[in-house]
Amino acid sequence: MNLRGVMLGLAASSFVFVAVAQQPPSAPLTLTLQDALSRARANSTQFQAAVTDFAVAHQDTVQARAGLLPSVNFHNQFIYTQGSGATISVTGNPASTTTAAPIFIANNAVHEYVSQGVVEQNLSVVQWTDYRRAQALEAVARVKSEIASRGLVVTVVQDYYGLLSAQRKYANAQLGATEAQSFLDLSHKLEHGGEVAHSDVIKAQIQANDRGRDLREAQLAMDKARLDLAVLLFPNFDENYTVVDDSELAPPLAAFDEFARAAQKNNADVRLSTEELNAAGHELGSARAGFLPSLTLDYFYGIDAPQFATRGPDGVNNLGYAASATLNIPIWNWGATRSKVIQAGLRQKQAQRELSLAQRKLLADMRTLHAEASAALSELQLLKDSADLAAESLRLINLRYRGGEATVLEVVDAQNTLTQARNAWSDGVVRYRAALADLQTLTGTM
């Protein structure tokens, strides 16, 4: 009975295992370009690092702004001082009392309790310029996060359409391998009929071997492109996905004047250099403010008495207030402030040079990238026509070969030409989309 139960249990376990093993795989995730961009922004370590730097810079600004405002603290302290053995008279209300005198003349009593609310305000040009510098550095971090986002867009676009190109080239390789195998079968039949020489069969076999090798290389390239894009998109490295082929629906290219106006207004590199120059200017102002006086205002309210109580044992009121104003005038620090001014001035001059370079580079990039995109767009139709013509040429040459009017070399050449034309069309599509993405990074339109 027990053996029968064990056997039934094993059978049930085997059934469950087979049922689980035979479950169909889940359907692949279908991604558009916008889906890929959203996933890349969420999973890119470099982009998230730039976003984190921006958030940290914002908190620096918050802290610098807080330094300009009054601070409130509740100060509590107990001070014990050795007694000197003598007594001192304390005049109060309603009567005078005596208490033990502390051995240190700077201290007020043997037992001293301090419990006070303190309001402090620092008035300094350095703090104000540091706050403005923190604002400028926050703007720098914001622009850097935008640059990281736009750079990520270019990478995703290149990898996305690179995968589509690899898939198309794999399909082209499959067609090429099929055509080469069909031609090999045809040459065998014609050889058996005595219509062609055996050398044609050898050439067709070599062509079929080459196309088979090309197919394996195309599959390897497609797999690598899929892995490269998966690294950008998925935190758990998921390869079960497909991408939507919208390469033939590329948006039109804007006119150069329209593009130039947008680039001059929204270019992140120029904005970054401008904000860095602004930050360098505030740094110079902060360094120069080191030559100026600073003022600190303090207001105290609470207890500073020999008893921790609002009234002493003789009825004297221990609660009270005090205020102080401190003016700190810098006189001499062995040239440290002057050295800081020189440092800040050097950084400002370098920031000016970098801004000038960014502006010149923008002018060159606008013309270069627009010309690149324009050339790629104008060549797309030519590449498409070439692929169609190559397919028609192969069809006609195959008919001529069957009729004995074409040589095996012409057929092989037509097959190679068709494969090259199809691959060139796929590369042209990726080239235009990548050039368009580069343009959009200058204008911030993606």
**What pLDDT was estimated at residue 147?**
87
- Segment 326-337 shows an average pLDDT of 92
Q: What whole-number distance in Å separates Cα of residue 366 and Cα of residue 260?
A: 7
User: Residues of the chain with pLDDT > 70: what percent?
Assistant: 91
pLDDT digits (tens, 9 = 90+) for 115-147: 999 999 988 888 899 999 999 999 999 999 988
Q: Which residue has the higher pLDDT, 352 or 235?
A: 352
Q: Is the backbone peptide bond immediately before 94 cis, with ω within 30 degrees of 0?
A: yes
| 96 is a domain residue | no
| 389 is a domain residue | yes
- Residue 230: both structure tokens together: 């998966």
pLDDT at 326 over 70: yes
3-state secondary structure of 236: coil
| CA torsion through residues 66, 68, 74, 78, sign | positive
- Segment 401-420 shows an average pLDDT of 89
- Structural domain harbouring 215: 27-69+124-292+330-443
| 225 is a domain residue | yes
pLDDT at 356 over 90: yes
**What pLDDT was estimated at residue 223?**
93
Q: What whole-number distance in Å separates Cα of residue 355 and Cα of residue 135?
A: 19
pLDDT at 1 over 50: no
Measured at the CA of 259, the angle between CA 256 and CA 261, to 5 degrees, comes to: 110
**What pLDDT was estimated at residue 96?**
55
pLDDT at 428 over 70: yes
Q: What is the DSSP string of 300-317?
A: EEEEEESSSSSB-TT--B
- Structural element, H or E, at residue 1: none
Contact status, residue 381 vs residue 428, Cβ threshold 8 Å: no
Q: What whole-number distance in Å separates Cα of residue 316 and Cα of residue 332?
A: 47
pLDDT at 20 over 80: no
Q: What whole-number distance in Å separates Cα of residue 184 and Cα of residue 205?
A: 6
- From residue 322, alpha-carbon distances to 80, 105, 385 in Å are 22, 21, 90
**What pLDDT was estimated at residue 173?**
92
Q: What whole-number distance in Å separates Cα of residue 380 and Cα of residue 299?
A: 76
pLDDT at 7 over 70: no
Alpha helices per DSSP H over 234-329: 256-266, 268-288
Report the chain's mean pLDDT, rounded to a whole number.
85
**What pLDDT was estimated at residue 90?**
58
pLDDT digits (tens, 9 = 90+) for 247-285: 777 778 888 888 888 887 888 888 889 999 999 999 999
| CA torsion through residues 332, 334, 335, 337, sign | negative
pLDDT at 25 over 70: no
pLDDT at 13 over 70: no
User: Residues of the chain with pLDDT > 90: what percent?
Assistant: 39
| 80 is a domain residue | no
> How many Å from the N-terminal Cα to the C-terminal Cα in the chain?
72
Give the count of domains, the chain. Answer: 1
| 94 is a domain residue | no
- Among candidate residues 291, 294, 293, the one with its CA nearest the CA of residue 338: 291
- Residue 31: both structure tokens together: 């991604």
3-state secondary structure of 84: strand
pLDDT band for 402, please (50, 70, 90 cuts).
Answer: confident
**What pLDDT was estimated at residue 89?**
63
pLDDT at 10 over 50: no
CATH code (residue 275): 1.20.1600.10
**What pLDDT was estimated at residue 18?**
39
Lowest mean pLDDT among 125-129, 237-241, 300-304, 322-326: 237-241
Q: What whole-number distance in Å separates Cα of residue 209 and Cα of residue 177?
A: 8
| 374 is a domain residue | yes
pTM: 0.73
The residues near 86 (Cβ < 8 Å, ≥ 6 apart) are 100, 101
pLDDT digits (tens, 9 = 90+) for 135-178: 999 999 999 998 888 888 888 988 998 898 899 899 999 999 99
| 392 is a domain residue | yes
- Among candidate residues 244, 170, 154, 232, the one with its CA nearest the CA of residue 426: 170
pLDDT digits (tens, 9 = 90+) for 56-90: 999 999 999 998 999 999 999 988 888 877 776 65
| 118 is a domain residue | no
